[in-house]
Amino acid sequence: MKKQAFNPYLPSWEYIPDGEPYVFGDRVYVYGSHDFYNGHAFCLGDYVCYSAPVDDLGNWRYEGVIYERTADPLNTRNNMCLYAPDVTVGPDGRYYLYYVLDRVSVVSVAVCDTPAGRYEFYGYVHYEDGTKLGDKEGDEPQFDPGVLTEGDVTYLYTGFCGRGDRSRHGAMCTVLDKDMLTIRKAPVFVAPGVEYADGTGYEGHAFFEAPSIRKVGDKYYFIYSSTNMHELCYAVSDRPDGGFVYGGCIVSNTDLGIDSYKPADKIVAYGGNNHGSIVQIGDDWYIFYHRQTNGTWFSRQGCAEKIRIESDGRIPQVKMSSCGLNGGPLKAEGEYPAYIACNLFKDNDMELIVGENQPRIVQEGRDGDENPGYIMNMCDGATAGFKSFDCKGVKSIVIRARGYVHGVFEIRDKIGAQVLGRTGRVEHSTVWEPYEAPVNLSDGVHDIYVTFVGEGNAMIGSIEFVC
């Protein structure tokens, strides 16, 4: 890597969840919905795009707005949001963007000659008689389109299945003709929703939303958000239009299920919904997903982790990290912003879903203000975890903090392990102050856990390694 990569991989003031990553040429492009900081609902912004060189995944470039909310003829009043999109290259070599507005159940399509240019409205997915998909009697509502084009055929995956709603059966696959709009084969169900999962192999991880599709070798991988919401799961088939067998969870934005550094049922980050997919970049595979910030559902940020696809096709669940696309540990040198913390939890009162009273990532100002994120609500027993760092000769760790507090910060390299170092007394301050903790840290790769012990609610702006 020419530049170190972190999680979240985009600037800390950018909120692009539902990431669909693709390699086009020598760059990785990520398409997603667009949340606002302090937004009152999901997906309030226009579609924007970011890209990075395949050999420099820490160097993301803002490509600008690629599609405006009002570009769809159904949204000229600008009273609907653009939900999670996906992009595919059509038989004509053009780029087609599929999406659903938030209050209609039809699939819209836009087109562009380049991956990240200005997309123009193209039309609605429809049957041969012109009836829109989703409007025909018997159609289930369309949601979260994912697309895969092979030759002159495009496979469109859609669906949303909530608990208690037996009118929705599962994820659907619809086959489109080479015009990218006309239905060649009507929708069929490819993964069951929670109300129809018994006896299918999907029990406990039934389809909820966020369908995405990738081809790996001669196998088709269906990636989706399960009914648990916080996890991205996968199913595998020999064909794109059915036969998918449940495979497992790839990533959880709470790290539930990971038992390598904690008990499997311990929550180490407050979760929420999830959406993303896998992509091969060079020789490596990654999963893109998102995390919740600001104590709400509505300010989500894209993250990514390196994954492993086994020879038998399995994808083991991967733990969340701070280094993400870096390809390995971060260098334990100099200062790192606190917003790259991948774990935020308290010793007690742990809840699955993000909330205002929990430690959380925030920023100064309004949406769009280019201010770095930081951690707030570090109350007694709250821990921020950073993964992972290649340490050589580290003598101390400096925590930059502020807030109306009395206490200390403790440093560990494992959850529940002995304290490796403590800062001096942290006192009331309205500006960022450095607090140094001499540490007994051997050379090698370490995770860093920073725990506040004391009264009040501290804020952490950064951590710094002193060698």
Q: For residue 1, what pLDDT is reported?
A: 55
Q: For residue 352, what pLDDT is reported?
A: 78
Give me the torsion for CA of 311, 288, 231, 372, rounded to 10°: 140
Q: For residue 284, what pLDDT is reported?
A: 97
CA distances, 21 to each of 50, 51, 315 (Å):
10, 9, 18
- Please identify, in words, the CATH class of the domain defined by 330-466: mainly beta
Contact in structure between 384 and 412 (CB atoms under 8 Å): no
Whether the bond between 8 and the residue before it is cis, its omega within 30 degrees of 0, is yes
Contact in structure between 159 and 144 (CB atoms under 8 Å): yes
Residue ranges per structural domain of the chain? 20-326, 330-466
Q: pLDDT per residue over 121-149, tens digit each?
A: 999 999 999 999 999 999 999 999 999 99
Q: For residue 214, what pLDDT is reported?
A: 98
* Average pLDDT of the residues of the chain: 97
Q: How far apart are CA 302 and CA 319, in angstroms?
A: 15
Q: pLDDT per residue over 145-183, tens digit each?
A: 999 999 999 999 999 999 999 999 999 999 999 999 999
Q: What is the CATH number of domain 20-326?
A: 2.115.10.20
Q: pLDDT per residue over 238-289, tens digit each?
A: 999 999 999 999 999 999 999 999 999 999 999 999 999 999 999 999 999 9
Of 397, 418, 412, nearest to 446 by C-alpha is 412
Q: How far apart are CA 264 and CA 282, in angstroms?
A: 32
Neighbour tally for 417: CB within 10 Å = 10
Residues identified as active-site? 18, 209
Contact in structure between 170 and 191 (CB atoms under 8 Å): yes
Q: Is the pLDDT of residue 354 over 90?
A: no
pLDDT interval class at 349 (50, 70, 90): low
Classify residue 142 by its DSSP letter: P
Bridge partners of 207, per DSSP, are 193, 226
Question: Which residues neighbour 311 within 8 Å (Cβ) at sequence distance 6 or greater?
Answer: none
Q: How far apart are CA 185 and CA 26, in angstroms?
A: 34
